[in-house]
Amino acid sequence: MGIVDTSLETFDEQVLSASSRRPILVDFWADWCSPCLVIAPVLQRVVDELGGRVDLAKLEVDRGENMKLAGHYRVRGFPTVILFHQGKELGRFSGARSKLQVLHFIHEHLGGFDFG
């Protein structure tokens, strides 16, 4: 999968179901949000660096009915990044982070997961 844009209509398949195969970071973001624009390339670098061991789904909250997902997951600020694995939320953080902070977050929540 790599990096995909997801939506209310595709979230179950692209995130919840797909997370049974590999962990997925979901970036809840908005175009008007400066920290969202800062973290986007950081998340892309992390996913690229992990070489397919973790995927990224980007959910623009202002598009269509996507805000319903933000409400469902009780997202209070943007960006919020949630890590899903086996269909469940493992952890989340809000705000811009460095590549090392994002990698630490992934390792912290996936413990013995093989990052090669």
Name the strand (E) or helix (H) holding 36.
helix 34-49
Choosing from 3, 16, 33, 67, which is the catalytic residue? 33
Choosing from 25, 36, 54, 57, which is the catalytic residue? 36
Can 33 be counted among the known catalytic residues?
yes
Can 2 be counted among the known catalytic residues?
no
| Per-residue burial over 107-116, b = 16 or more CB atoms within 10 Å of its CB, e = otherwise | eeebeeeeee
- Active site residues per annotation: 33, 36
